[in-house]
Amino acid sequence: MKTDKLKLEIRSSSLKYAHKRHIPVDESHASSLIYLNLCDNFHPESFKSILSNPEWRCRTTKTHPNVANTKEMQSSNSSDALLMNIFCHPDISRWRGLRDLIGERPETVLFGYPGQVHINNGKGDLTEIDLVLPGVFCEAKLTEADFTSKAADVVERYDCFRSIFHSEDLPRVGEKYDNYQIIRNLLAAFQHGKKHILLCDERRPDLVRRYMQTVSCLKEMDNRNKCRVIFWQEIALACGASLRNWVAEKYRIF
């Protein structure tokens, strides 16, 4: 499914969800719905947990890049909001199916973790990891168009870039390296001794293809084996009934 179509599908299901509950929303944006109250974009139990954790609560205050006076997680299309709805739920440690799927016990859950990928002989960069569990870094995507691209001279500044990747095989957009976010994420994961997971919607095979294009350029088979894709649909099925049904209704994730 193309990005624009998925945006409209999630917007439509989110609008039905809001109208059914008389939740105030801003419908003026063509590709997304803006919840006027941040809490309304969250499952009640997840939001309660977020409020009780200062670091999680701070994460929700990120400014929306395109809508003035709005938080990013007020958007119906926010992948970060979906991520926090699931991994901030107070019952997550009880869901064995989710633990088996991820391969990790969610004993500690961090959002927006600084990857500090070494650049220019050890100086840390500004890479941000969406979700960190004890043994894995996760990148969360929903309706984002791609993983962005970056000029070759910027990418090649990373200390371990050429020792980790077959750089000549990486996808390019003109003179730029494609899938820049994934390149940085993988470098961060291996630097910190972590595995890497892309969390995305199964309606986005284009993102899976882009991710695997980059993974296939890793030199070491051991590093390739540390990377995988998990769909939101799989995660939702492994959650408790209340959250699972909420995600299905609001995001049309079945």
Token pair 């070759």 is at which residue? 152
Q: Per-residue pLDDT for 1 more than 80?
A: no
For the entire predicted model, the pTM comes to 0.96
Q: Can you tell me the distance from the alpha carbon of 192 to that of 186, in angstroms, rounded to the nearest whole number? A: 10
Q: At what angle do helices 44-52 and 241-251 cross, to 10 degrees?
A: 110
Q: Determine whether 69 is exposed, middle or buried from the number of CB atoms within 10 Å of its CB (0-12, 13-18, 19+).
A: exposed
pLDDT digits over 65-109, tens only?
A: 999 999 999 999 999 999 999 999 999 999 999 999 999 888 899
Q: Are 61 and 102 in contact (CB under 8 A)?
A: no
pLDDT of residue 122: 76
pLDDT band at 121 (very low <50, low <70, confident <90, very high): confident
Distance CA 103, CA 120 (A): 34
| Domain residue ranges in the chain | 1-95+239-254, 104-238
CB 250 within 8 A of CB 17: yes
> Which pLDDT score is estimated for 61?
96
* pLDDT higher than threshold 80 for residue 247: yes
- Of 167, 163, 173, 154, give the one whose Cα is nearest residue 214: 167
Residues 1-30, mean pLDDT to the nearest whole number: 95
Q: Nearest Cα to 85, choosing from 245, 202, 229?
A: 245
Q: What is the mean pLDDT of the chain?
A: 96
pLDDT band at 16, cuts 50/70/90? very high
Query: What is the identity of the amino acid at 50?
Result: I
Residue 245 has pLDDT above 80, yes or no: yes
Q: How many whole angstroms separate alpha carbon 171 and alpha carbon 180? A: 10
In tens, the pLDDT along 198-225 reads 999 999 999 999 999 999 999 999 999 9
